[in-house]
Amino acid sequence: MLFSQLSILSLINTWSKRGLAIALAAITTFTITGCNPASSELQARGVSQVVQAILSDPKTFNPVLSQDATSSSVGGMIFAGLVEQNPITGEIEPALAKSWEFSEDKLRIVFTLREGLKWSDGYPLTADDVVFTYNQLYLNPEIPSSARDILRIGQTGALPKVEKIAALQVQFIIPEPFAPFLANTGLSILPAHILREIIEKRDGQGRPIFFSTWSVDTPPEKIVASNAYRLNNYATSQRVVFEHNPYYWKKNERGERLPYIERVIWEIVESTDTSLLQFRSGSLDAISITPDYFSLLKREENRGNFTIYNGGPDYGTNFITFNLNQGTRNGKPLVNPIKSRWFNNLKFRQAIAYGIDRQRMINNIYRGLGQPQNSPISVQSPFYDEGIKGYEYSPEKAKQLLQEAGFKYNPRQELLDADGNRVRFTLHTNAGNEIREAMGSQIREDLGKIGIRVDFSPLAFNVLTSKLDNSLDWECILLGLTGGNEPNSGANVWFPNGNLHMFNQGKPDLEGRKIADWEEQIGQLFIAGAQELDETKRKAIYAEIQRLTSEYVPFIYLVNPLALGAVRNKIQPIEYSALGGAFWNLDELKITDR
C-alpha cells in the first residue's frame, strides 16, 4: 500500500498496480506532449512517445526500498513480477510466469517461467533471479521492505520458503493456507547477476551496500529492466525518461515485440494549474480531472478531441491521523505528553471525526464528485462493508464527547483540557496538493468551531515522509493511501509492527511504546483474514476490521472522490478503471491519427 499525494495517480502508467507493488504513495500524474525541447525533437524524428508529469522526484530507483509512489511507479515501469492483476477484471494473470499450480493442500505453489526471458542487457532471466529476489531481498531481515509484511503468514508471521526446482521453475512453500498468496507474488523480480555480489558486500558500518544501490544518482545504463521500458535518463527536478526494452517478452498477435510506444517521459512539475493550462492549449495528451475543473473540461470535450472517463469511486483513501506513539527516543517523548494524552483519548478522536464537515468538503472542494469515506477498504473491493456508517457532521455531538472526556470551554469558547491547557495542535499535509491544502484549511475552520486551534502547515512531501518514517516528530497529518481489491495489501499499515503503521510507528530505538488492545486485535484479524480461504468468512473478518477502525478511529476518513481522467482520442485503445487508470496497459496502446 502506498502513500498517495494526489488522487490523480490514476492517470500515470500504473505498472505498479499491475505488479501489485506495496509502499507509500505520493504522486500526481498527467500525460503531456510537446512541453520541452527534447520532446519536440523526438517527435520531429518520428519517435512515438508519451510524456507525463509527476509532482515530485523519485527518492530511489530500487523497488525493494521504495516507499513513495513516484519511486514505486518507476519500479513498476521497469520491473515485472511473476503475476500481475488486471485492473478491469480484478483477476490475477500471468506475467514473467506463464503458469502456476497449487498443491492439493494449498501449501505449495509451483511457477513455470516463460521461455526465453531476458533482462534489458540481454542476460537470461531465470528461476535463479526469482529465488534471489525473494530470499536475499524481500525476505532478508536486514533490508527494510514493505513487501515482507504482506508475505508474513499466520500467527507466527512465518515467511514462505522459495526454492528453485529447475531453470524455469520455482516453488513457494507456506506453513498454512494463505488466501492472498498468489496476488502477493506480483512483486518485482530483480536481477541476480547484477545484485548478488552487492548483497554480499558491506559498507563501513557493516550494512549491505544494497541500501545505496540504484539510488537516483545511478547511471541509467547500470539499471537493467524486465518490463516494457528501461530507464534512459533522469535529471533532478526536470524529468525521468524511459525507452522501450528491446528484450520485453510480450508480443502482439503477429509475433511483433511490444510496446508500440517507444518512449515515455515524466516531466517533474509542481503546479496542477499549469498542467491544466497546457492540456487546454492542446499540448497535453491526458490529465487526471480534479473536481475544481471537471465542469470546465466537460464543456470542452468535443472541441478538444478528448474523452472524459469515469472509473467510479477511487480506490484510495484520504484521512487525518494523530501520532498516538507514547514512546521516547533518547529519553525525550516523541509527542508532547500533554498532547499525547489528548490524541490517545478515544472520545477526543471521535469528537474530531464528528467535528469535520465532510459533506461541505464534497460540495465545495470536490464539487459534488465524491462521497463520504468510512472505511480503510476500497469501496469497489468485494470486501467493503456497506454497513459502516462513519461519522456524520455534528459539532454538538463533538462538544458533548469532549466534555465527557474532561475537556472544558473558557468564556471565549476555546477548548481547554482538564488542566487548563489550550487544545491546539499542528496539522501537516504535502504542499502543492491543492485539494489536500483546501481540505486542511477547512478542517482548521471546522475544528475552530468546536474550540480547537489547528495550525495548518503544508510541507514538502519528502520532508513530511521523513517525519513519518524517521524522526516521528509530528502531531497530526492529512494524507492518503492507495488501495485495491485485496485487503491484505494493507497489512503493513495495520500490523502493530508494520512499517507503515504510521499512527504508532515502531522503531528499534524507541522505549516505552505502547500498543493498544484494539491495535493488537486488528492485527490478529488481518492474520485470520489471510488464513481464511472461504470468501464469505473472509468478508465477515474484514467487516469486523472495518467496524473496529470506525470505532477507534486511528484514521479519520474524509472523502472518496470519483476517479476521472481526460485522454486525447489519438491514444487508443483506452480501458479506463479506478484501479489502473488510463495507462495500465501502456505496452498495448498506440498513438493514432484520430
Span 205-238, pLDDT tens digits: 888 888 889 999 999 999 999 999 999 999 998 8
Nearest to 220 by CA among 211, 208, 205, 232: 232
d(CA 71, CA 25): 9
Cβ(295)–Cβ(264) below 8 Å: no
Distances (CA, A) of 101 to 30, 96, 105, 148: 39, 15, 12, 23
Q: What whole-number distance in Å separates Cα of residue 529 and Cα of residue 538?
A: 5
Q: What is the dihedral of CA 273, 279, 561, 54, to 10 degrees?
A: -70
pLDDT top residue among 7 and 366: 366
pLDDT of residue 224: 96
CB 558 within 8 A of CB 318: yes
Q: Match domain 317-561 to its CATH number in 3.40.50.300, 3.10.105.10, 3.20.20.140, 3.30.300.30.
A: 3.10.105.10
What burial class does residue 575 get, using C-beta atoms within 10 Å of its C-beta: 0-12 exposed, 13-18 middle, 19+ buried?
Answer: middle
Residue at 403: amino acid letter: Q
Q: Return the CA Rg of the chain.
A: 24
Look at residue 2 in the predicted model and tell me its pLDDT: 55
Please report which confidence band the pLDDT of residue 546 belongs to, taking 50, 70 and 90 as the band edges: very high
Q: Which helix (H) or strand (E) holds 317?
A: strand 317-322
If you average pLDDT over every residue of the chain, what do you get?
89
**Residue 224 CB partners (closer than 8 Å, separation 6+):** 119, 120, 121, 123, 191, 194, 230
pLDDT at residue 1, as a whole number: 59
Looking at the chain, how many residues does it have? 594
pLDDT tens-digit profile of 75-124? 999 999 999 999 999 899 999 999 999 999 999 999 999 999 999 999 99
Q: How far apart are CA 343 and CA 202, in angstroms?
A: 42
Buried b (16+ CB within 10 A) or exposed e, 414-437: ebebeeeeebebebbbbbbbbbbb
What is the pLDDT confidence band of residue 559, given thresholds at 50, 70 and 90? Answer: very high
Q: What is the pTM of this model?
A: 0.80
- Helix ranges, 109-161 (H): 127-132, 146-151
- Name the residue ranges covered by the structural domains of the chain: 7-80+217-314+563-591, 83-196, 317-561
pLDDT band at 553 (very low <50, low <70, confident <90, very high): very high
7-80+217-314+563-591 sits in which CATH class?
alpha beta
Q: What is the mean pLDDT of residues 460-465?
A: 90
pLDDT at 144: 82
Query: Predicted confidence band at 187 (pLDDT cuts at 50, 70, 90)?
Result: very high
Neighbours of 270 (CB within 10 A): 14
Burial (Cβ within 10 Å: 0-12, 13-18, ≥19) of residue 101: exposed
pLDDT digits (tens, 9 = 90+) for 339-364: 999 999 999 999 999 999 999 999 99
Q: Return all residues near 264 (Cβ < 8 A) that are at least 6 apart.
A: 13, 49, 50, 51, 52, 77, 229, 241, 242, 586
Which CATH superfamily does the domain covering 83-196 fall into?
Answer: Dipeptide-binding Protein; Domain 1 (3.90.76.10)
363: left (phi over 0), alpha (psi -120 to 50) or beta: alpha
* Nearby residues of 385 by Cβ (< 8 Å), 6 or more positions away: 375, 377, 539, 542, 543, 546, 547
Residue 383: exposure state from Cβ atoms within 10 A (0-12, 13-18, ≥19): buried
Residue with cell 515502531: 506
Q: So what's the pLDDT on residue 457?
A: 97
According to DSSP, the residues that pair with 112 across neighbouring strands are: 99, 169
The residues, any chain, with a CB within 8 Å of residue 538's CB and separated by 6 or more, are 179, 383, 529, 532
Query: In which residue are the cell numbers 499450480 written?
Result: 101
Question: At 36, is the secondary structure helix, strand, or coil?
Answer: coil
Burial tier of 412 (Cβ tally within 10 Å: 0-12, 13-18, 19+): exposed
Closest CA to 472 of 307, 276, 289, 330: 330
Residue 343 per-residue DSSP state: H
